[in-house]
Amino acid sequence: MAKLVLEHLMVGPLQSNCYILGDEESGEAVVIDPGGDGDLILNAINRKPWKITAILNTHAHFDHIAANAALKNSTGAPLLAPKDDSPFMAHAHVSARNYGLEVDPSPEADRLLVDGDSVPLGDETIQMISTPGHTPGGATFVTSIGIFPGDSLFAGSIGRTDLPGGDYDTLINSIRNRILSFDDDITVYPGHGPATTVGREREHNPFLVN
């Protein structure tokens, strides 16, 4: 089994979580949700230095894809994003202007991911499972060190569903049927805020406690 290491960065004006997940044996790494501050992310990559084999987006909101172009241009790595969010990706930089922000447009994805797809990282396989609701194509990436649900689930909260394409019931079903199917001790690395565990959210998240 690959020995994975994780570096966490807070990026962009909305302080989104960006993760560099690397396999020490092969020197390969993926970047999950480069939401801004491309230079900061690239500096972290180069300190290792990692060979970036993929850029992964959990969903296509601008605060999670704003540095897609910078990362792709600098590393040459393919961009992988959820298929059902592809219509949003082309317009994410426009929606940023509603918040008074200017971000670089994202390139088109090199590969559109659907439920059950896998992404290699060294000797490990990262699995994508669909967890829609925050967006139509919201994805969770499953690894041996934890899961990365983007903005589907936070420590003590859940993602917004009042944005275009969001649906509360769909999100709750995604969390209950997909994310909470994992063991209680599985670490959750969300799109904003601190890490948590599946068990902690099952027991204490006010949106999930019956």
**In the chain, where are the structural domains located?**
4-204
User: What are 41-69's pLDDT values in tens digits?
Assistant: 999 999 998 999 999 999 999 999 999 99
Residue 142: half-sphere exposure toward Cβ, Cα within 13 Å: 17
The tens digit of pLDDT for each residue in 183-194 reads 999 999 999 999
- Asked whether the beta carbons of 33 and 58 are under 8 A apart, the reply is yes
Average the pLDDT over 112-120 and give the result.
98
Q: pTM for the whole thing?
A: 0.96
Q: Residue range 94-102: average pLDDT?
A: 87
The domain made up of 4-204 is a member of CATH 3.40.50.720: no
* Phi-psi label, residue 6: left if phi above 0, alpha if psi -120 to 50, beta otherwise: beta
Split at pLDDT 50, 70, 90, the class of 2 is: low
Q: Would you say residue 86 has pLDDT above 80?
A: yes
What integer pLDDT is reported at residue 49 of this predicted model? Answer: 86
Query: For residue 184, how far is the Cα from the chain centroid?
Result: 21
Contact 64, 33 (CB under 8 A): yes
